[in-house]
Amino acid sequence: MNFPPPSEKQARLIWMALTGLAVATIVALVVALVWGLGRVLDVLAPVLWPLAVAGVLACLLDPVVDFLVRKNVPRTRAIVVVFALALVIVAGLLASVVPQLVVEARDLAAKTGEYKTELPTKAGRWAANPPSWLPKQAVPLLRTFSESAHPDTNAMTAMASVPTATVPSTPAAGASEQTSLKSVADYTTKLLPKFGQWLSQVMGFVGSVFGVIAGLALVPIYAFYFLLEKHGIAAKWRDYLPVQNSKFKEELVFVITSINGYLVAFFRGQVLVALCDGVLYTIGFLIIGLPYAVLIGVLATCLTIIPFLGAITTCVSALLIALAAFGDWQHPALVLGVFAVVQTLEGTVIQPRIMGERVGLHPATIIIALMAGTTLLGGLLGGLLAIPLAAVLRVLMFRYVWRKPPERA
C-alpha cells in the first residue's frame, strides 16, 4: 500500500520531532556519561586523588622551577630547592597556625553543645520581643526554629505519669545451673554479631586511614616526577595517542591541549585565590574580634577552592558564631561587612590579576555547573570538578558548534 508523501507542514513537524528526539537522546547520553564518571571517580578516588593533588602542586611549583632553570640551575637541583623552600614555608605556617587552630577547634567543640542551646533560646527571646532592627518577616522563622529546638515536653510528662510495671520477683538463690548457662549462651549469641560489626567498622577505619597516609606519602613523589618529566611529557604525549596521523588526530590534540590549558589555569589560579581569601578573612575576623577567626580562615581557604559554595559556607558559619557568641546585631553586621569587602577585593583585584579571562565562564554558568556537578558527581569532588568540566564543554562547543573552525591552508 502506497502512502502519499507528507505535506510541507507535516514534513516540518516530522523533522522537528526527530530533532527533539535526537537532542533528548544526546542530553540523556551526556547525563549518563557524567553519572558514570561520578561512579568511576567514587571507586577510583583512593588512586586518583594523590595524582590530582600532585598535579595541582606541580602546576603551582612549575613557574618557580622554570625560573631557576632559566638561571642555569639544573632541573633536578631546581626541583629539590623548590621542594625544600616549600617544605620550610609549610613547616613555618604549621608551626604558627596549627597550635592556634588546635586550641580554637578544641574550644569550639567544647562549646558546641552550649551554642546549640543558646541559639534557640535567643531566637525564642527575639520572637517574643522583636528588636527594632529585626524584620517582621523573620519573627515566624525564629519562633519555628526555637520550637523545633525545644520540643514539647508533654510526651515526656505523659510517659512519666504512666504507672510503672510491677517488677517481677527475683529468682530464688537456688536457681538451676541450666538456666544460667542458657542466659550466657543467649547473651553470647547476641554479642557476637555486634562484635563482628564493630570489628568490621574498626578495620574499615584503619584501612581508610592507611590509604590516606599512603596517598599523602605518594603526593610529593608524583609531583617530583611530574616536574622532572615536564618537557618529555609535553614533547611526546602526542605519540602515545592510539590514533594514526590524520586530521582527526590533529583535532584530538587541539582539544586535549585546550582542555589541559583550562585545567591548569583554573586549579593554579583558584588555589592562589583561595589562599588570598583565607588570609583576608582571618585578618578581617581578627579585627572585629570574632572568636575562632583562624579556624574560619583555614576553613575558608579549603572551601573557597569551590567558587560561591565556599564563600557562602564561610559566611554562614561566621554569622552563626557571631550570633551565638555576642547575641547582638552589630557583630553579624561586621561579619557581613568583612564578607562584602573580601568578595569585592576578590572580584575586582585578586581574581582578575591571578586568573584573568583564562577560564572565561560567566558567573551564571559557574552556578549551574556547580549545581549539576554536586548532583551528578556528588559531594565536594563533584563541585571541584564541575567548573573544569564546564570549561571543557565550552571548548568543544566553541570548536564544533558555535564557531566555524578555521580553514586549513
Predicted confidence pLDDT, tens digits, the chain (409 residues): 566 777 888 888 888 999 999 989 988 887 788 777 777 777 777 777 788 788 878 888 888 888 888 888 898 898 999 999 988 888 887 777 777 777 777 777 776 666 666 667 766 777 677 766 666 666 676 677 666 655 544 444 444 444 544 445 455 445 555 665 566 556 566 666 665 666 666 666 666 666 677 777 888 888 888 888 877 777 777 777 777 777 888 888 887 887 777 777 777 778 888 888 989 999 999 999 888 888 888 888 888 877 777 788 888 888 888 887 777 778 888 999 999 999 888 878 887 777 655 556 666 777 777 777 777 666 666 666 777 777 777 777 777 776 655 554 4
The Cα–Cα gap between 24 and 30 comes to: 10
The Cα–Cα gap between 125 and 143 comes to: 9
Question: Are 144 and 331 contacting, i.e. CB atoms less than 8 angstroms apart?
Answer: no
The Cα–Cα gap between 303 and 274 comes to: 8
The pTM score is 0.60
**In Å, what is the CA distance from 238 to each residue of 222, 254, 332?**
21, 10, 55
- Cell digits of residue 94: 604549621
The three state secondary structure string of 229-292 is CHHHHHHHHHHHCCCCCCHHHHHHHHHHHHHHHHHHHHHHHHHHHHHHHHHHHHHHHHHCCCCC
Taking residue 258's Cβ as centre, other Cβ atoms within 10 Å add up to 17
The Cα–Cα gap between 42 and 101 comes to: 30
C-alpha Rg value of the chain to the nearest Å: 30
What ranges do the domains of the chain cover? 48-149+208-240, 246-409
The Cα–Cα gap between 28 and 115 comes to: 46
- Cell digits of residue 245: 596521523
* Identity of the amino acid at 82: V
